[in-house]
Structure 1
Amino acid sequence: MQLVPFRHAGNGVVATGTDCKMDLFLIVFLFVLGASVGSFLNVVIYRTPRGESIVFPGSHCPSCGRAIRWFDNIPILSWLLLRGRCRFCKVFISLQYILIETVTALLIVGLYACYYIWDLRDGMGEFLSSWPTFTAHAALLCGMLVCSVIDIRSYHLPLGICWFVSGVGMVAATVRGGANLIPHVSHTTAASCLGAGVGLIVAIILLRRGLIQPSFIDADIQPQLDESDGGEKPRSASAYQVAATSACGVRPRREVLREVLFLSPAIGGAVAGYLLVGHVEAVRSAWEGLYALADGGVGKHLGGFFGSLFGYFIGGLWIWGMRILGTLVFGKEAMGLGDVHLLAAVGAVTGWMIPSMAFFLAPIFGLMWALYLLVRKGRRELPYGPWLSVGTLVAMIFHDKIVAFFENYLEAMRISH
């Protein structure tokens, strides 16, 4: 059989016609899978803000309550065949359903194309060997899509979704070990991450037992602002949060110090881990011996796990640090804890560099939207979560080009001096 070159597979290797057939098969498969996942995401988007189970009851019409039969629940196709209406009560089905299904499918297919066809990211390798990393990145995109839609509609980020994505990222990083896109971390950094993780668990236990008080007594208020509930959306997320805080008589500067207290065990654990490994010879030797067991695979898996854990902490600290600093300076709650968990999840999946890039890219997209509103004289503002998601997507796809740009810039600056 004659094999016809079609594309470059990276590292100067030309893909064959067989590779292209595999690409086509995977693209079709991933599109169908993505649309099916998007159908489930619609359930999550609708039910999570209402506090309903995403499992029971099964899919049903929100208007008449009739169960949706399987042939009316085929992603994308059923909506088109039914012309966007319930088979029984003929009530219009929101355009959101087909949009989420289509966008999810396109995101997953686009991610595959960027990583494996256009080779925009070095280090992915072949799909059959790197599918755990791809799955984690696809889960991150799906999680960000859900969080963004819910955040736009209710100014609330569902933390459970962020935690789930973080768990998927850490498992994938551990399974693949060093063969992933997560930057490697040093022995001392890994020890600091372990100490911070132990400290975080201690802080959560103290919080659960009531020994540490949660900040902002309005944090448990989850607004039901969907149009179907008859509620009006506020003009901005900050307007809603400040109103709730003022009504409860909360002093933001004092409240944010509770968050500093909550973080203290994690900070202390990170410092302790660094000092023990860096200055106690017996601990350092034992830790490096465990961390260097690459031949048996232990060291590689530990490296992947701690790279993910470090990314989790860095992603969260970017937003949490800005939240604490902004609240202390301006005297009102700055940013939201949901954004902290969102960027932490990004770090758990991709390592520390992607959330760092996203942190600086997000304001650019937010500013562009603000300028658009200024020109259109619109009043609709978006919460920050969607911009973090957009910044993350751009950083994931163009990471190598962004790094190369700054490396060339720094090299040019060095030569000029």
Structure 2
Amino acid sequence: MVEAIIIFFVFAFGACVGSFLNVVIYRVPMGQSIASPPSHCPVCGHPIRWYDNIPILSWLLLRARCRHCRTPISIQYPLIEAATGLMVVGLYAAYFLAKVRTLGLGPGDPVRPAALDLANALPMFVAHAGLLCALLASAAVDLRYYVVPLPVMWTAAALGAVAVLIQPHPFLPSVPATAAAVSAAAGLGLLAGLWAIHRGWLTPSFIDAPDREGPVTPPARKEQPSARRRRKGGKGRRRRGSVGVTAADGVNPRLEVLREVLFLAPAFVLAIGAWALVTKVPAVAAGWGGLFDTAAHPLLAPRLSGLGGVLFGFLIGGLWIWGTRILATLAFGREAMGMGDVHILAGVGAVTGWAVPSLAFFLAPVSGVLIVLYLFIRRRQRELPYGPWLAVGTVLAMLFYDSLVRYVGPGLKVLFG
């Protein structure tokens, strides 16, 4: 009985989040604020009262029409709300009832499933549920507009960091002090690259490619998604022809992607410097490593290790896609993948650690059956958004983590452990 009540409230919470995701999916691609104006009918502009905004139920009671102008309300709204509710309930059932996660992937990581319940793992559950919601919103936007709403994945990454600060949990693979130092230094390097762009010392890649445009057209115009050209990344902004920019577009993709290498250079330089300090200088190694000693710092050490895991996961997740993008662009002379995909897998890594995005990177192509089906339905579509398949790969990695780790965990430890 208690579990049934918990499941009901978890579903209700998920459905409410789904209602908010509908706002995100509709407004963010168009560059609109998600806070104001309040929810309103896009046709008559009448504000939607609270009793007309109850997830799923209001759509049914209103018979899928606006109370005031009788304009049909898309079935997308209750579907997203129901899908989000079921997704969050499914995550709860998988983690706390079926206990599909019983393994970690680092020193001291084995999980005691009998001791793991919602009461002592609430921050972790909220972060993981938030990640799934972010992936759902990103996939929905990417499928329709060929845009990845970056703030959505940034929010998910922030949830991951907050969760380990509140309550360190075993579902985030631990990293040694050296990896934490390297991750922190690389993070500073990324900030240095952003500062260089802000100051005009470094130019973003593909900035000179043609056909840059503003926010996408609202769905009310009934524009065919197949007519929209691909743009990965940016807050509701896209550029025709990207991904897939070639020399025919007036830019040299190989030279353009070298700008991204320059952007990443400070991160690699600082990471190497941090590694040298904590491994070659005994005083630094002792001081830094001492911060991760749980006996000496029972409150600080687990949280510092957790933040290290968040940073390391963020970097490894993003590097899988960004490295592939750079190498493929240099090899084929055509812009490969999208920067939005980098942010998706980086956000996954920030919440789940380095192992899940590493697994998801290889699992995403396995969803090729879905891609073939999508191509069959949309035969004229020459380019496909990759974000949804990364989302599918992430869900598979989260649910089948134990089985996958038993097979590939040792190899991943060799690479990153």
Contact 2:245/2:335, CA 8 A, preserved across alignment: no
- The answer to whether the 8 Å contact 1:154/1:223 transfers is no
Find the partner of 2:150 among 155, 159, 163.
Answer: 159
Distance 1:369 1:244, change over 3 A: same
In 1, the alpha carbon distance for the partners of 2:266 and 2:147 equals: 27
Q: Which runs of 5+ in 2 are unaligned?
A: 103-110, 232-239, 413-417
Which one of 222, 225, 232 corresponds to residue 233 of structure 1?
225
Q: Which runs of 5+ in 1 are unaligned?
A: 1-20, 411-417
Are 1:61 and 2:41 matched, yes or no?
Answer: yes
Change beyond 3 A, Cα 1:242–1:132: closer
Q: 2:190 & 2:378 partners in 1: Cα distance?
A: 45
Report deviation, 1:402. 1.6
Pairing partner for 1:100 from 73, 80, 84: 80
For these two proteins, the number of residue pairs brought into alignment is 388
Distance in 1 (alpha carbons) for counterparts of 2:399 and 2:335: 32
Give 1:201's match in structure 2, choosing from 191, 201, 204.
191
Q: Under a length normalisation based on structure 2, what TM-score does the superposition of the two structures give?
A: 0.88
- 1:191 touches 1:277 (CA, 8 Å); kept in 2? yes
Shift of the 115–254 alpha-carbon distance from structure 1 to 2, 3 Å rule, reads: same
Q: Deviations over 1:254-303 (max 9, x none)?
A: 11000000001111111111000000111111111112144432111111
**What is residue 160 of structure 2 aligned with on the other side?**
169
Q: Read off the aligned partner of 2:15 and give its amino acid letter.
A: A
Alpha-carbon distance in structure 1 between the residues aligned to 2:403 and 2:279: 35
Please give the residue correspondences for 1:28-177 in structure 2 after superposition, counting only pairs within 5 Å.
28-122=8-102, 123=111, 125-177=116-168
> In the alignment, what sits opposite 2:289?
288
Deviations 1:182-213 (A, max 9, x none): 11111211111111111111111111111111
User: What is the aligned-residue identity percentage?
Assistant: 49
SS of the aligned residue for 1:224 comes to coil
1:267 paired to 2:268: yes
Q: Matched residues in 1 for 2:377 and 2:70: separation?
A: 36
- Tell me the distance in 1 between the aligned counterparts of 2:186 and 2:378: 46
- 2:351 maps to 349
Q: For 1:336 and 1:148, how far apart are their aligned partners in 2?
A: 14
3-state SS in 1 of match to 2:241: helix
Once the two structures are overlaid, the 10-residue window that deviates more, 242-251 or 391-400, is 242-251
Give the 3-state SS of the residue equivalent to 1:190 in structure 2. helix
Preserved CA contact (<8 Å) 1:27 1:109: yes
Residue 374 of structure 1 and its aligned partner are, at CA, apart by 6.2
Q: How does 1:247-262 map to 2 (within 5 A)?
A: 249-262=250-263
Match of 2:390 among 374, 388, 391: 388
For 1:392 and 1:288, locate their aligned partners in 2 and report how far apart those are by CA, in whole Å: 32
Deviation at 1:139, TM superposition (A): 0.4
Task: Give, in angstroms, the shift of residue 176 of structure 1.
Answer: 2.2
CA contact (8 A) 1:212 1:262 kept: yes
Q: TM-score, normalised by structure 1?
A: 0.88
Q: 1:398 Cα deviation (Å)?
A: 0.9
SS in 2 for 1:240: coil
Structure 1 residues 88 and 97, CA gap change in structure 2 (3 angstroms): same
* RMSD value, Cα: 2.3
Q: Are 1:331 and 2:333 matched, yes or no?
A: yes
Distance between the aligned counterparts of 1:171 and 1:245, measured in 2?
Answer: 41
Deviations 1:325-375 (A, max 9, x none): 11111111100000001100000000000000100010111x213433566
| CA displacement 1:209-258 (0-9 Å, x = unmatched) | 11111111159645625542353433774883267766752211111000
1:224 aligns with 2:216: yes
